[in-house]
Chain A
Amino acid sequence: MTAASTNINDARIVAERLFSRKRTMAFGALAALIAYLTYIFFAFDIAGLAQRARLDNAVTLASDSWSYKTHVTRDNRFGAIEYAIEGERKGAYPEGRYPAWVTPGEQSTVVDLGNGQIATLLPDNRLTLELPEYGTVEMALVGRDVVTSFGDTPPDWTNISDSRATITLDGARVTFTRSKTELFRYFAGWELFFFTLDSPYNGAGLGTILFGDRVDPERANLAGAWQDFWSNGMWRHADVAWAIFETILMAFLGTFGAAMIALPLAFLAAKNFAPLGAARFAVRRVFDFVRGVDALIWTIILSRAFGPGVMTGTLAILITDTGTFGKIFSEALENVDDKQIEGVASTGANPVQRYRFGVIPQIVPVLLSQVLYFLESNTRSATIIGAITGGGIGLLLTQAIQTQKDWEEVAYYIVLIIIVVMLMDWLSGILRSRLIGRKD
């Protein structure tokens, strides 16, 4: 009786000690986490982030990625008026064509800037703006100076000096300088995604192209439309397709090349296949070294030797993954079942046949599944390496980001990258379940 109760008491004391230790551990871990995050808060200067952040950049980025602007530009020396999407030469309206919201006249050109805002380009470098909230504004180039009717206290949505007047309107903007008068208006969407304005298929619907009469008498509709789409100068579909292909190529060649190099080396690093301890040790250290140096450093070294491009990216993936695959493969080889090899050997097979029929069938599903898994993750790596070394979609993306204005292209590339990576993921999943014969 007493012995039992002492036992229970002992057990209780032990349990309570355990509880209190666990509680201290839990609170200690939480306290350490909070302390670390506090340290990070100051180390990363999160408080100063608000000042450093460029909210106007964020707004430009967000609005530009889903909208475009159409420029109406008058040359203030010669008086010629040009219409162009995004103000780019490749997006220019051909001679004699203009947007529907512009009414060119003999003397004056009326531009509807939306929301009831109307601009009129008058002769002698004059411009009037009719703004519903404000009234009429007049601007002119007098001698060498830009003169406006805003008076001494212009509103805060304007920026006026002798040489330049910028007026930000609702969904539009007016810039008046000595050399030109520029009006532009924003619209939603990715304009000219399919056809540029110089293509006869611009504005033609899918039905017209598929079933309608020939738009261009020279060419069959489908062939012509494809040709114009493919050579679209604004969105450069052909270049983008090439870039995507290059990125996939880097991942494909790098992954499978690494697998092919790593497989024989893995035999040298596996305990049950390499009798020589020294060689095993050496090969393993090579694998560790190659993995430890990391893709970034390999990329730098390789791009010095081979210059920017696809081959450099391929080799960077290939070298890094040789180390990783070597490690995985040699571990798989060490787990090979000896019975199967003995069985093959008992039929009088020579060493080559023993490997071919005793070892390879056991490891191939494991290895291929790993390789396919890496193929997907290397598609992402190829984008990153492409951004550093200059190749594939990574290069196009960094170029588009560096211009700081083609955000619609950035958005387009990001969507493409996501689709490609998800496709590779899906494809490698299908192949893996086919090869191994099970779903994962």
Chain B
Amino acid sequence: MTDVTAGRAEGVRSVQDNYLALVRKKRLYGGITLLIFIMLMLSGFQIANDRNAGGFLEGIPMFFDFPEGVIEEAWEKRGNLPGLLVKYFPALIETVNIAAVSTLVGAFGGIVLSLLSTRGLALWPRAIPLFRRVMDVMRALPEIVIALVLIFVLGGGPVPAMIAIAFHTAGALGKLFSEVAENADLKPVEGLSSVGASWGQKMLLGVIPQVAPNYVSYGLLRFEINIRASAILGFVGAGGIGYELRNSISWGQGKFDEAAAIFILLFGTIVVVDQVSSHFRNRLTKGAAL
């Protein structure tokens, strides 16, 4: 009897020891990882600070200077504000238009690329890796790179920005779309091929109706992102509200009321589009009709 309890206690103890050793080891590894991470962060911030024109600590007090200056001037000239909002409204429309067209064009390109690179649906199954790599490269290229090069060739204006964003969008949406299309039911496609439908017909009638809600949802999300991208590209010379913002800011004091008006327009647009699009996306993913 005593032997048995002793043996059991022995067994429990060895299990306990093993368990504790394991926990200690895990803690040690976790601790080392955490330590390395913290050191990376600290030294990273140190390097970032050293390689900046102005230091972090010196900059902190000045952080609010610019917003303060803008708000002060906007408040002094608050009578101008409604007029300025109207003045810059067309530029805002241009920015939204760039985002909308590039989302449409990019989504169309994304649909084609995604169908060409999905197993079971692809027109040329052997070319699937090729189309996937093409999408990877399209996604990896920042819009600003294409925009700057195109501005050199096509001159400033909305078209370079539109092409640049559409190019990136096609790659980004293509990947997401192809993940959706992979889960599509192939029975309608088989049915269509049994009546002799071409590849285009099979995709248009067999696949697209199944995946459309998800595609529209991703497209709306992309539209939100593209409005921001379109404003940024305007800032480097591609027209729209970003361009006006750059002009009014580089003018400095005296045009800050205009900058404030543009800030308000941009902020308002982004918030409104985010809200509206997330409302529709929620409905789409929950299966309700638009």
Contact = CB atoms under 8 A, between A and B. Distances in A.
Contact of A425 (B60, B140, B157): B140
B53 A307 contact: yes
Contact of A295 (B63, B142, B232): B232
Interface in B135-180: 136-137, 139-145, 148-149, 152-155, 157-159, 162
Interface string B223-267: 000001001100110000010010001000000000000010011
A164 B262 CA distance: 49
Interface residues of A, number: 63
B101 interface: yes
B52 interface: yes
Contacts of A228: none
Contacts of B182: none
22 contacts: A43-B97, A44-B162, A52-B155, A53-B155, A246-B48, A249-B47, A253-B41, A256-B37, A291-B274, A294-B231, A294-B267, A306-B53, A310-B52, A311-B45, A311-B48, A311-B55, A387-B144, A387-B148, A391-B51, A394-B144, A425-B136, A425-B139
Interface of B: 37, 40-41, 44-45, 47-49, 51-56, 59-60, 62-63, 65-67, 94, 97, 100-101, 104, 136-137, 139-145, 148-149, 152-155, 157-159, 162, 228, 231-232, 235-236, 242, 245, 249, 263, 266-267, 270-271, 274
Interface of A: 33, 36-37, 40, 43-46, 49, 52-55, 57-58, 61, 246, 249-250, 252-253, 256-257, 288, 291-297, 300-302, 304-312, 314, 380-381, 383-384, 387-388, 391, 394, 397-398, 401, 404, 410, 414, 417-418, 421-422, 425
A295 B228 contact: yes
Contacts of B155: 52-54
B53 A308 contact: yes
B273 to A, nearest CB: 10
Q: What's the dominant secondary structure at chain A's contact region?
A: helix
A397 B144 CA distance: 10
B152 A310 contact: no
Nearest to A297: B263
Q: Which 6 A-B pairs have the closest CB atoms?
A: A307-B53, A309-B52, A307-B54, A311-B52, A306-B59, A421-B140
B52 A306 contact: yes
B48 A249 contact: yes
Nearest to B232: A296
Nearest to B228: A294
A305 B63 contact: yes
A253 B266 CA distance: 27
Contacts of A422: 136-137, 140
A294 B266 contact: yes
A294 B266 CA distance: 9
A53 B150 CA distance: 9
A347 B274 CA distance: 44
A311 B44 contact: no
B232 A388 contact: yes
A388 B142 CA distance: 13
Nearest to B268: A292
A49 B59 contact: no
A306 B144 contact: no
Contact of B236 (A302, A388, A425): A388
B137 to A, nearest CB: 6
